[in-house]
Every structure is written in structure tokens, then in C-alpha cells.
Amino acid sequence: MERPLFRSRIGSNSQILALLLAAIPFFPLAVHSQGPAQDISCENGNGEYSTKFSTGTTVSLGPLRNGAFAERACVARLFGNGQQVSVASDAAEVVIDVLGADIGFGKPVVAFQIDESGDGKHRSYRIFSLNKPLRLLYTITGASSYAAADTDLDGKIEIWADDAAAIDGFDGVPFKSFDSAPAVALRFEKNRLVDVSAEFLPRYDAQIADLRAQIDPHELAAFQNSDGILSMDIHRPGDELRRLARTKIKVLEIVWAYLYSGRDAQAWSALEDMWPSPDINRVRKALADLRQRGILRGIDRAPEKSNHKHQVHIYDETGTTVAVSQNVLNAAGGAPDTTSYDFPVVQPRSILLHRPPPSEVEDAAVSDAVLELVVDAAGKVRSAKLVKGTDKRWVQASAGWHFIPALRDGSPVACRFRLSVWDMR
């Protein structure tokens, strides 16, 4: 199953999967608090999560409380070894993106996506060390969504984000009117955050091809005969204005897909082919400044590298299946709490599993299944397939699952393993 360029935020608390997991040898790298299955997000005071990582650090998020009452706001903290660190004190939304991965700092981290205001456009990404001393390592701002992943399974973790801050209101178009903000791939190299988007040209090319296919030739011709700005001083029927605006947005999205993937010449060529000629110089200047308006301000592009990618070894644990009885399952959801098995790789540990969405028949039961998953070094599902059962909704649901990554000799690694699941609704 192919995964998207980057994922948007995870679903609400009501979507959390109630699972029993069996027939897989997990180890308790993190010990979940007992109780119902937990979300790893808090939104407007809804959702709560707490786990103690193997380093002794407790990661906690939940509603801001006023005495016994929960406010419509969220807090997040880290504490352990005599320290307490505030992650967020009064936020509209807090989401854990990665837990236990090494995203370039040489140590396990926890990364949070935080929306302070609740507008959904200006989230920050805060990365904290899970080793002592507990501290903030880096903050990224300017995007509406972030997701870390070892995109090509080459052992290097990217942080995929959009450049919402740069395009909000660009050329008079509000952020919500765009179908997609420019995608950006960032990576920490030698303790420096760099833009590595140019390493992923096929992904941008697929997006460009899809956008071109959505443009009607007649509507493009009509847009090319406009002033480009779509000035409100010119009277147009409402339907015509909507068609022109839709085409303008698609053209802009094509141009900046080239720009953000490091292909400026192709961007300007596409602009000349599709934009109204009298307005090209104006909009080109605005687009040239785009990268310095948002998330990429002050971030350098990585030097060009060979297209050859080193494929990382995926540790295959599908042959080490062990039957685990229900009495050792973690009551909070996630992995069995057992250390009685000795394997060279500590398998991924689940921290968030959504159940599949309902079928056309709202109360239809979700069928039992066994999934074979590849979870990367960031704890994200890179591929999923059914090895037992026929309900493909499990495969679709797995795209949003989060794990503490597998460990070998204390370092996160990619791992293939099997997960037996059944719904408990």
C-alpha cells in the first residue's frame, strides 16, 4: 500500500481502535497507563495520553484542568529524573508525531505538532530529547501539518510539511481555497536542518501530472485571456469567476511544485505556458519570494546528490511469531507486556491504532485479520498487506497508525512483522 507524501493530523478520540493484539512478540519499551485505549492527541480539551519511555521519561498530554474541571485547551509535559519540562501550556491542539525515534540528533526524541491558536494554519513542530537532561532540541514553524518518516527506507528520516505560511493569502487567494500547499521535505544533517525536497522528484512529478489532468483546456484558455489577478473591478458571472479562480489555483500549485523540488527553470516555463502574458512578470516576482515567506526562511537547500539511494535493511520478524495469551495483553491497548522472549530486534510498539471506518452498513462488524506491516525507523507504517482475512479496511486504517520504532542495539530500525487484530466495539 503506497503512503502519501505526508499525512495530515490523526483522527478524533472517538475513532480509537479497541484492539487485542496477539501472536506477536512485543517488548515493553514503553509502559502505557492502564485504562481505555488512548489517543496520542488532545484537541480542545478532548483526548489524553501518558506513557513512560524506557529512558525513564514520562510523556503526558491532556486537557488543561481548573481544579476538577477540564478546560477547552490542552497541555503537554515531560517529566522524569527530577525534571519537568512544559511542552505546551494552553494550546488548542497537541499531537504526538514520533516517539522514540532518532530523527537526526543521535538520541531518541518525542516530536509534537502543536496548534496554539486553533486556526489550523500555523502549527509548530517541537522536538524534545527523551534522554536526560530533558530539553527542547528544535522548533519548526510555518506549516499546517508535519509528519516524520523514513520516506525511501534509506535510513534517513525526513520531516514532511507543507508551506502554509507562505501561501496563505498569496495573490489574494486564502489558504483554505488551495487544494494543497507546497510540500517540503526537511532533514537534520550534522545538527543543521536542510531542505531535501529535490531528492523526491518522482513524488512531485506525480502531483504535477495529477494537477495538469484536472485543468480543462477551455478553462485554461479563458484564464489566459484574463488579467491574472481576477480583479473584482471586472464584472463576471459567478460561475465564470469560480472557474477562473479554480484554474488559477491549479496553475499556481503546478508552478510551486516545480519550485519546491528545486527546478526553477521548469517552474518559469510552466508559468509562461499557462499564465496570462501581461501579468507574468508580476506573478513571477511574487513566486520567486515565496520560499522566504514561510517554513523555508533561513533553511538551506541540501547539496545535490546522486539519485542512487541506499536501501536500509528491513529486519524481518515475521518468522518469530509467538502465541501470547490474553492475560498478558496491555489493558490500555497496544502491545503485550512481556519480556520473556529473546530476539535480536525489539519489535515496534504500538502507541496509536485507529479501527477501520464503518462500511456502507453502519453497524457492520470489522472482520478479524492478520496484517504484515513494515514500520520504519520513525515509527510510521510504510506498507501493509493482509496475510489472513479479507477486510481491506484494516490496510486503509493502518496508514494512520503510530509506533515506537523497532530497536536493534538501542537504535531505531525498520522492521517487518505481523499483527493479529480484531475489533472490540
Determine the pLDDT at residue 318.
Answer: 80
Distances, alpha carbon 419 to alpha carbons 28, 317, 329, 349, in Å:
16, 11, 13, 11
Determine the pLDDT at residue 303.
Answer: 77
Domain check: are 68 and 187 in the same one? yes
Domain check: are 356 and 234 in the same one? no
State yes or no: pLDDT of 9 exceeds 50: no
Domain check: are 148 and 227 in the same one? no
Domain check: are 176 and 51 in the same one? yes
CA 23 to chain centre: 29
Last residue of a domain, one of 292, 325, 350: 292
Q: What is the CATH number of the domain that holds 396?
A: 3.30.2420
Last residue of a domain, one of 200, 226, 259: 200
Whether 260 maps to a domain, the answer reads yes
Determine the pLDDT at residue 34.
Answer: 29
Taking phi first (over 0 means left), then psi (-120 to 50 degrees means alpha), and beta for anything else, what does residue 4 get?
beta
State yes or no: pLDDT of 31 exceeds 60: no
Domain check: are 39 and 184 in the same one? yes
CA 230 to chain centre: 34
C-alpha cell at 267: 517552474
Number of domains in the chain: 3
Lowest mean pLDDT among 138-152, 241-255, 378-392, 410-424: 410-424
One-letter amino acid at 275 equals: W
Residue 423: what are its φ and ψ, rounded to 5°?
-80, 145
Domain check: are 196 and 212 in the same one? no
When the pLDDT of each residue in the chain is averaged and rounded to a whole number, the result is 82
Determine the pLDDT at residue 332.
Answer: 34
Confidence of residue 310 (pLDDT cuts 50, 70, 90): low
Whether 362 maps to a domain, the answer reads yes
Confidence of residue 13 (pLDDT cuts 50, 70, 90): very low
169-203: pLDDT as tens digits: 999 898 889 988 899 999 999 889 999 999 999 99
Domain check: are 279 and 221 in the same one? yes
Whether 248 maps to a domain, the answer reads yes
Confidence of residue 36 (pLDDT cuts 50, 70, 90): very low
C-alpha cell at 106: 543521535
Residue 22: strand pairing partners: 420
Stretch 289-304: mean pLDDT: 87
Q: Which SS3 state, helix, strand or coil, does residue 31 take?
A: strand
Helix orientation angle between 217-224 and 264-274, rounded to the nearest 10 degrees: 90
One-letter amino acid at 65 equals: R
DSSP codes of every residue in 56-117: S-EEEEEEEEETTEEEEEEEEEEEETTEEEEEEEEESEEEEEEEEE-SSSSS-EEEEEEESS
Whether 381 maps to a domain, the answer reads yes
Determine the pLDDT at residue 233.
Answer: 53
Stretch 24-36: mean pLDDT: 30
State yes or no: pLDDT of 337 exceeds 80: no
Whether 18 maps to a domain, the answer reads no
Q: What is the share, in percent, of the chain residues with pLDDT greater than 70?
A: 79
Domain check: are 169 and 209 in the same one? no
Domain check: are 157 and 225 in the same one? no
Domain check: are 110 and 179 in the same one? yes
Domain check: are 254 and 193 in the same one? no
According to DSSP, residue 319 is labeled T
Whether 192 maps to a domain, the answer reads yes
Q: Which domain holds residue 70?
A: 30-200
Whether 12 maps to a domain, the answer reads no
Whether 414 maps to a domain, the answer reads yes
Contacts of 288 (CB under 8 A, 6+ apart): none
Torsion of CA 225, 227, 230, 234, to 10 degrees: -90
Domain check: are 323 and 251 in the same one? no
C-alpha cell at 238: 459567478
